[in-house]
Amino acid sequence: MVVALLACEATASAQGAVEIEAPIVRIFEFVVVSDDLEAFMVAGRKNVQTSVRDEPGVLSMHCVADKSDPTKLYVVEVYEDEDAYRSHVESAHFRDFINAIKGKVISRRVIETNPKMVGSKQFAWTEQ
């Protein structure tokens, strides 16, 4: 297993991936008021696009919906380090997002993680 992990690491390095120490990965579970789902997604899309574009320590952000319940969303955020996360939550666009979703969220849960493997290719996609 160690050999396989080292091979994956070497492959990522060879493909030009940014090497970091240990990323911060947080998963947020939101249950959104169904009538407010589109407004939530508009605010979320703006936050994700601005964060990934303008914040160097934001490595990736992903939003997915539960297949059986489209109002249940999971947001996976990957940061270079804890300082990058703190910088993100202090940013103006994040505060705008928080203000925009007030009253639209039934519940919010944060899942702290201990990352084991993180890899990606550079790409961007958003459902319109």
Q: What is the mean pLDDT of residues 89-117?
A: 97
Q: How far apart are CA 41 and CA 89, in angstroms?
A: 18
- pTM above the 0.85 mark? no
Q: Where are the alpha helices (DSSP H) in the chain?
A: 2-14, 37-54, 82-89, 92-101
78 closest CA partner among 26, 3, 4, 31: 26
Residue 77 scores a pLDDT above 60: yes
Q: Write the class of the CATH domain 20-112.
A: alpha beta
Q: What single-letter amino acid sits at 43?
A: A
* pLDDT tens-digit map of 109-127: 999 999 988 887 776 666 6
Buried residues in 57-93 as b, exposed as e (16+ CB within 10 A) = bbbbbebebeeeeebbbebebbbbeeebbebbeebeb
Parse the chain into domains and list their residue ranges.
20-112
Task: Output the pLDDT for position 19.
Answer: 66
